[in-house]
Chain A
C-alpha cells in the first residue's frame, strides 16, 4: 500500500473540487445578496461577501411579505409531506403485504404518474380545480403535489416493508396487537430511514412548487416564496440583491429540514441493496 498517501490526497482533491462545484452557486447567491443593486448593474459584482451591506439587505427584505410567503411554502411542503407519508404508509403496506386483483395495475399506474410531465397536467387540473372549488387554495396545491409525491413515497416505503420479516407481524398478532397497531407500532419505527427519505422527497417537491402555484393561485397573499421571488423579475428592473437575499432565507428552512433527517436518509435509500 505504498500509494496510500497519494490516493488519499487525490481523494481529498476530488472532494474539494466537487464541494466547490456544488457549493459555488450558493456562495454566489450570498455574494449577490450582499452587493447593492447599483454595483450589480453599473460596476459589476464584487465576488467576495460584503457584510457591510447587511443592514441595507435587511431593510429591503422587511419590505417584502417574505414571512407570509414562507408560511405558505411551509404549508404546501408540510401538507404534502404529511399527506404523502400517511397515505404512502398505508398504500405501501397494502402493496407489500396483501395479494389482491389489480395489484400490478396499481403499481403500473403509480409509475405512470412519474412519466407524465407536470406541465401537461396544468390545464386538466385547472379544469378539475374549478369544479371542485380548489382554485386559489393552498390545499388544492397540497393535493396536486401529493399526486406526484405519493407514488414515490409509497414505493420507497413498500420496498422497505418488503424487507421486514413477516414473522415479526405474526408475532405482534399473537401478542394481540391490532392490524393498524402493527403498522404504527412495529412497521413504521422499523422503516424510519425510508420514512425520512420519503419525507425529504415529498417535502422538497412541495417546497420547490412553482408551476401549479403560479397557475392556480391568484391572490398575492397565497403565493409561496418561489412565485413571490419570480414576481420580482420585471421587464425593466430586477432587484437582484433582494431576490438573492430572499432566496437565501427561502433556502434556510429547507437546509434545516434536510439536516434534521439526513442521518436517516442514507440508510433509507440503500436499504434492501445488500442482504442484511
Chain B
C-alpha cells in the first residue's frame, strides 16, 4: 500500500488557481477526509490523486516516486463517484466484474464480436465469478446481481459502486462525496458501513466531503480546506477541540463554535454591551480578540447565576437535547435574525421560552482564543501572568 505525499501541489484553470501549494501526506491504512465547502478544491485534489486531472505544479509522490504523469491504471486506485457512475446497460454482476474483465483485456479484443465473446468468457471464469459473489455477499448485493442499476435504490447503487471498487483489491480508495445523494437515514447507515469496511479491508481511504458530521465520524485524520488552501490537518478531536482558525471553528460543529469579538482589559471582557470577568487567561498584548467557546461547553440558567446576561432568541428542540440561541445583553431578543447569537447545547428540555431572560456561563478552561485581524488561534497567557495581573501583585 503506497504512502502518498503532496509536495506543493497546485492546480490552475487558466488564470484561476483552485489549489495553492498543497503539502500533506497520507499514511498507509489511514482514513483521510478532505473537508471543506463547495468549490474549495477538494474534489479536484482527489481527481489529481486518481490521475483524472492534470497537476499544474508540485509533485505527487506514491511511495516516494513521482507519480504526476502516471496513468490511472499505473496508480492502481479505486474511485467512487458522487453520482456512482455505474454502467446503466450492464447488470449489477457485470458492473462489479467490469474491472476484472478489463484486467484480462488484450488489444485484439477490440475486434467487434471477439470482445463480446471474450468479455463473456472472462465473466465465466471461476475466479472472477467467485470474486464477484464474495464482494456481493460482503455488501449484501447477492439478490440484486442480475438487476440493472436503473431498478436499484440510491443506497443499493452506492453499494454496487463500492463493490466495483473493492473487487479489484486496490491499495488506495478515493471516494468523492459518495453519500451526498442519499437521504439522511440511509446516509447514517452507509456512513457506518463504510467505516466498518475500512476497518475490515485495512486499506488507505481518501474521502471528500463537505459534511462535517461525515468527516468527524469516519476520519482518522481530517484536512480542512478553504479556497484551495489547507486550514488545518489533524485528528477529528484536534480539529474540534483546538481549531487552527475561525474558519475551522465555524465549519466544524453544528451549531458552530461561538465566536464573540471582545474587548479585553485585564481579566475583564466586554462585548455586546455587557462585561464579565474571565480568569482563564487572555491573549498577550491584545486589547481585543475573538473569544471562542463550543455550545456544549456553555451553561444557561434562568435564575441569574451566570456571568453573561442574555435573552433567549432561538429554541431548537431535538429530543435528546435542545439548542438555544441567546442574544447577549438585557434588551429585546431581536426578531428572527440569527446573527450574533450565542448558542448553547443542553441535554433534555430546559424550561425556557422565547424572549426569556437568562444568564450564560462557562468553564474558563474551555475558552479558545483567536487573533482578531488574522483569525488564527492564539494561546492565552495564564491568568496570573497577564501584565495587569502582574502589576496588581
Contact = CB atoms under 8 A, between A and B. Distances in A.
Given A174-B50, A174-B79, A175-B98, A181 B105 contact: yes
Contact of A170 (B78, B81, B112, B168): B81
B353 interface: no
A175 B99 contact: yes
B81 A190 contact: no
Contact of B77 (A165, A174, A184): A174
B88 A177 contact: no
Nearest to B119: A185
Contacts of B82: 167
A185 to B, nearest CB: 7
Contacts of B164: 175
Contacts of A175: 98-99, 102, 164, 168
B89 A171 contact: no
A176 B99 contact: yes
B121 interface: no
Q: Tell me whether chain A's interface is mostly helix, strand or loop, or mixed.
A: helix
A189 B89 contact: yes
Interface string A178-217: 1011001110011000000000000000000000000000
A181 B164 CA distance: 18
A168 interface: yes
Contact of A173 (B52, B110, B115): B52
A180 B106 CA distance: 12
A173 B99 CA distance: 10
Nearest to B53: A170
Interface string A154-179: 00000000000101101111111110
Contact of B83 (A167, A185, A190): A167
Contacts of A184: 110, 112, 115
B380 interface: no
Contacts of B72: 173-174, 176
B247 interface: no
Contact of A171 (B77, B81, B110, B119): B81
B130 to A, nearest CB: 19
Nearest to B174: A174
B317 to A, nearest CB: 39
Interface in B90-142: 98-99, 102-103, 105, 110, 112, 115, 119
A167 B181 CA distance: 15
Contacts of A181: 102, 105, 110, 115
Interface string A95-121: 000000000000000000000000000
B185 interface: no
Contacts of B85: 165, 167-168, 170-171
B200 interface: no
Nearest to B79: A174
B87 interface: yes
B105 A178 contact: yes
A189 B98 CA distance: 15
Contacts of A190: 88-89
Contacts of A167: 81-83, 85
A189 B82 CA distance: 23
A180 B107 CA distance: 10
Contacts of B112: 184
B285 interface: no
A49 B109 CA distance: 54
Nearest to A175: B99
Contacts of B103: 176
B49 to A, nearest CB: 11
Q: Which of A171, A181, A184, A185 has the most CB of B within 10 A?
A: A171
Interface in A230-253: none
Contacts of B105: 176-178, 181
Nearest to A189: B89
Contacts of B86: 168, 171
Contacts of B50: 174
B87 A168 contact: yes
A189 B79 CA distance: 23
A33 to B, nearest CB: 40
Contacts of A165: 83, 85
A206 B263 CA distance: 85
A177 B52 CA distance: 13
Contacts of B98: 172, 175, 177
A74 B87 CA distance: 35
A181 B87 CA distance: 13
Nearest to B167: A175
Nearest to B88: A190
A97 to B, nearest CB: 14
B214 to A, nearest CB: 20
B115 A174 contact: no
Interface in A11-55: none
A173 B102 CA distance: 10
Contacts of A170: 52, 79, 81, 85
Contacts of A176: 72-73, 99, 102-103, 105
Contacts of A172: 87, 98
A170 B77 CA distance: 12
Contacts of A168: 85-87
B82 to A, nearest CB: 8
Counting from the closest, the 3 A-B pairs by CB-CB distance are: A171-B85, A167-B85, A175-B99
19 contacts: A167-B81, A167-B82, A170-B81, A171-B81, A174-B52, A174-B72, A175-B98, A175-B102, A175-B168, A176-B73, A176-B103, A177-B105, A178-B110, A180-B110, A181-B102, A181-B110, A181-B115, A184-B110, A185-B119
Given A170-B85, A174-B50, A174-B78, 9 more contacts: A165-B85, A168-B85, A168-B86, A171-B85, A172-B87, A172-B98, A174-B77, A184-B112, A190-B89
Interface of A: 165, 167-168, 170-178, 180-181, 184-186, 189-190
